[in-house]
Chains A and B, each alone.
Chain A
Amino acid sequence: MPTVTFVSIDGSRHTADARVGESVMAAAVRNGVPGIIGECGGNASCATCHVYVGEDFMPLVGPPGDLEDDMLDLAVSDRRPTSRLSCQISVTDALNGLAVETPKEQP
């Protein structure tokens, strides 16, 4: 089972077991990772699952889609080039070991 590590602003790390095919957000929420809310259940409607993807994984994870791009523009504070909504990142075996940072606050 791939694992995803969530690093919060204070440096604390939470590693979650993720199922292939589920979203990074879903893995976080199931495991009760702080800093990921995922209020809309993965519908790209709430932007409460914003993460910064680790640089080394960016080529694998890729850029946001159009709708997600709007969400990131308007709904998150402190957008960076590595910003993604974790509900839109699907877990694959290749993403095993993915590390993402959670922002200071979700909207």
Chain B
Amino acid sequence: MTGGVLVVGASQAGVQLGASLREHGYDGPVTLVGAEPQPPYQRPPLSKAYLGGAADSASLELRDQAFYANRRIDLLPAERVTHIGRGTALTDQGRVLDFDHLALTVGARARRLTVPGSDLTGVCYLRDLADAALLRRHLTRARHVVVVGGGFIGLEVAAVARSDGRSVTVVEAAPRLMARAVAPTVSEFYRHAHARRGTEVLLGAQLTRIDGEHGRVAGVSLADGTRLPADLVVAGVGVVPRTELAEQLGLACDGGIVVDEFARTSDPSIVAAGDCTVMPNPVTGEGRVRLESMPNAIAQARVAAATLIGKARPYADVPWFWSDQYDLKLQIAGVADGYDQVVVRGEPESEAFSALYYRGGELLAVNAVNRTADYLVVRKALASRTPLPADRAAHADVPLKDLLVATPAP
């Protein structure tokens, strides 16, 4: 290959970046290279429909082969870029890829456990399809599942395992669940919701060791002396952005590859998008956030593509996320960092409620549980910068959409 755009990371962001380049009319070569053996696929269902057996790997494919061919996107799977220099990249297959423009969509890896016993058979992670396939095999035979980490991934896996009839214990080091993503009220709701469905949730619990027999997981030990039986341990303890290539290139990294609102790295000729990046908070503009989500990967990849072809426009999307646990659909819009007020609409006990976050009276975000209408209204309000006054939003019997109409932007 000669010249053109090299996209490193055949991920959701990588595919979108290539597709967006073509939509913008970019006519040069586009090469999409990725280390995983299969064509690019959707990750969110791995911890949901795929793990539960409702989706197979073929149904996860992002695009048909013809899609890449028709758009002249040269897809190189099973090939890892190991070195990048000025205008040239080298892969582990010994291939040399020349480029005019570089985009990094390399994602993140699952953070590994380091306690003794972490290398036993039956310790699983969930990040890519290979992880999910292995976990699914283990899960069919498991009786006692210990999930380490009470974030989205851990709780989604716990929900699938419990729904499948396993005994499940969630071990979370923090004092509450999903602490990075939701307010204490919502954390507390999920603790109860999991407990009601028979999953044990241990908070403030520190894993000290995984106990084994004949090389296989047999249990776990906690700092307070508790021992739990386990034949499967699933760790969902966060991710580590893949910054190695960016560091090789001398790009600024700070818990991710640092990009601006145009998806430009500290070398403005190189863009990056998706889970590997930290970006300016798109809601407040203050500070940087890492938005680990598919919608962000897509939105940021679009911005990066526009930047590469010289039609730069800033990131303007309202971040959103979702998590499916049992029959509970959690939908999040916005970024709640720095909130000083939470308004709860509806009764958490009814398993349909929402929490709206404000700072100095300004709307920041929503967490909606089985309350899609509230999620959508907040998303719309954030996108159009329409205020939804907290005192009025607190009346749960008034549809939030009425406020959207009644309080136009000043």
A interface list, Cβ under 8 A from B: 19, 22, 26, 29-32, 39-41, 43-47, 67, 70-71, 73-75
Contact = CB atoms under 8 A, between A and B. Distances in A.
A37 B17 CA distance: 14
Contacts of B66: 31-32
B380 interface: yes
Contacts of A29: 62-63
Interface of B: 19, 42, 44-45, 59, 61-64, 66-67, 70-71, 294-295, 298, 320, 322, 324, 329, 331, 372-373, 375-377, 380, 401
Given A32-B66, A39-B294, A75-B380, 9 more contacts: A30-B63, A30-B64, A32-B19, A43-B324, A45-B320, A45-B322, A45-B372, A74-B376, A75-B376
A26 B372 contact: no
Given A31-B66, A32-B71, A74 B377 contact: yes
Contact of A71 (B45, B298, B372): B372
A30 B60 CA distance: 10
Given A70-B372, A74-B401, A40 B294 contact: yes
Nearest to B43: A41
B295 A31 contact: no
Q: Which 3 A-B pairs have the closest CB atoms?
A: A74-B376, A32-B67, A70-B373
A68 to B, nearest CB: 9
A74 B295 contact: no
A31 B67 contact: yes
B45 A74 contact: no
Contacts, number: 59
B299 to A, nearest CB: 9
Contacts of A75: 376, 380
A4 B298 CA distance: 25
A29 B15 CA distance: 12
A36 B331 CA distance: 21
Contacts of A44: 372
A43 B401 CA distance: 22
A75 B381 CA distance: 12
Nearest to B331: A45
Given A32-B70, A43-B324, A22 B42 contact: no
Contacts of B70: 32
A41 B401 CA distance: 25
B322 A43 contact: yes
Contacts of B44: 40-41, 43
B376 A26 contact: no
A71 B401 CA distance: 12
A105 to B, nearest CB: 14
A37 B16 CA distance: 11
Contacts of B19: 32
B123 to A, nearest CB: 28
Given A40-B295, A46-B295, A22 B59 contact: yes
Contacts of A71: 372, 376
Given A45-B331, A70-B372, A30 B67 contact: yes
A41 B294 contact: yes
Contacts of A40: 44, 294-295, 322
A39 B70 CA distance: 21
A46 B380 CA distance: 11
Contact of A67 (B59, B71, B372): B372
A74 B45 CA distance: 25
Nearest to A32: B67
Contacts of A22: 59
A44 B62 CA distance: 17
Nearest to A74: B376
A70 B372 CA distance: 7
Contacts of B42: 41
B336 to A, nearest CB: 18
B61 A30 contact: yes
Contacts of A67: 329, 372
A11 B345 CA distance: 44
26 contacts: A22-B59, A29-B62, A29-B63, A30-B62, A30-B63, A30-B64, A30-B67, A32-B19, A32-B63, A32-B66, A32-B70, A39-B294, A39-B295, A39-B298, A40-B322, A41-B44, A44-B372, A45-B331, A45-B375, A46-B320, A47-B376, A67-B329, A67-B372, A73-B373, A74-B401, A75-B376
A73 B401 CA distance: 10
A39 B295 CA distance: 7
B321 to A, nearest CB: 9
A32 B250 CA distance: 36
